Amino acid sequence: MTEPSFSNAAPPERTRTVDSMGVRLNLLEWGDPVAQPLVLCHGMFDHGRSFALLAPLLARRFRVIAVDARGHGDSGWADAYTWLVDVLDIVAVLRSLGRDVYLLGHSKGGGQAVDAARAAPDVVIKLVNIDGFGPPGPEDPGKPLPVRCAEFLDAHRRLAHRRAWHPYKSLDDLVERRRAQNPRLSREWLRYFIFHGATESHDGWRWKADPHMPYGFGPWRPDWIAPSYATLRIPMLAIVGSEQDTWGPLPESILAERLAGVRRLERRTIAGAGHFVHIEKPADTANAILDFLDS
C-alpha cells in the first residue's frame, strides 16, 4: 500500500536505535545532528510519528529526537511493562546523547518525562509537559489497594497467551477505531499516523503496539503526583488545550493543585485545541515551546 500523505507532516531525516535493558528503542530524528538535542516522548498507543507536524517546526533550531517507547511503533516488545521502566528508557536515550538535553512529553509521555527529568537532573535543562498530568483519579477510589494489586496480577495471568491484536480488514477500519476515541483528529491525519503504527499481513491490519503494554503500570494514586512534581529542579512549561477532549484537560482545580509545588513553572493554553494540541495546532504549540526554551 502506498504511504498516505498529510500536509506539513515531515518524515524523519534519520533513524537510529538505543538499547535499554535489553529492549531496542527506535528513535526518529529531524534537524541538524550537531544542534542542541530536544527529546520528544509520545503518549499511550502513539509512536514517534505523532510529532511529525511539530518536529519540523522545532527542528529549525534543535536536533529533534522522537522516541518510540517500548512496545510501541518500531521499538521492541518486552515481557512486561511498568511506569518506572519506561522512565528509565527515556533516561537511557538522554544519556546516549552525551550532552545536556531539552525534554518534552505528551500525555503519558509527559508524565514520564517529568519523572525522567527528576531521575536525570544533571542532563535535562528544561521540560515541556503537554497535557500529561495524570487522570482525575483512580477508576474506583473506594477499592482497597490490595484488591487493586490482585486485579493487576490477575489481568497479567489472563494476558499471558495473547501475543497479537486481532486483525482489521483494512487500514480505514483502524482509522475508525481510533477516531471513535479521538473524534477531534481528522481521518486524513489518522490514515497517515496509523499507517506507521500498524502492519499489514495476509489476514488484515494489526496495531504494532504490544497488546500487553496498556496493562503494565500497576496500582496508582493521584495524591502521589503533586509531591513528585515538587521535587523537580528545572523549569517546566505546562501546556493544555482550551477544548474538552477524551483525555483532557483536567479540571483547573485538580491541575492547579498538582502543579502548585513546581518551583519554576510556566503555563500555556492553546486555543482551539483538545488533548492533542501538537497535532491540532502545531504552529501555536511550537511557538509556545520555543518561547519557553529561549527564555
**128 within some domain:** yes
274 by Cβ neighbours in 10 Å (0-12 / 13-18 / 19+) ranks as buried
| Identity of the amino acid at 215 | Y
**pLDDT at residue 216 in the model:** 66
Quote the pLDDT of residue 154.
77
Mean pLDDT of the chain: 93
pLDDT bracket for residue 73 (50, 70, 90): very high
Which residue carries 482545580 as its cell? 253
| Helices vs. strands in the chain: H and E counts, helices first | 10, 10
Q: What pLDDT shows up at residue 219?
A: 64
Residue labelled with grid coordinates 528544561: 126
pLDDT of 234 over the 80 cut: yes
pLDDT band at 161 (very low <50, low <70, confident <90, very high): low
Q: What is the mean pLDDT of residues 153-159?
A: 72
147, part of any domain: no
Is the Cα torsion angle 252, 254, 256, 259 positive or negative in sign? negative
Q: At residue 156, does pLDDT exceed 80?
A: no
Work out the number of other CB atoms within 10 angstroms of the CB of residue 5: 11
264 within domain boundaries: yes
Domain region containing 114:
14-138+211-294
**57 is a domain residue:** yes
pLDDT tens-digit series, residues 14-28: 999 999 999 999 999
Residue 246, domain member (yes or no): yes
Report if residue 104 sits inside a domain.
Answer: yes
User: CB 122: neighbour CB atoms within 10 A?
Assistant: 8
What's the whole-number mean pLDDT along residues 197-226?
87
Instruction: Name the domain count of the chain.
Output: 1
Q: Is residue 225 part of a domain?
A: yes
283: in domain: yes
Residue 253: give its domain's CATH number: 3.40.50.1820
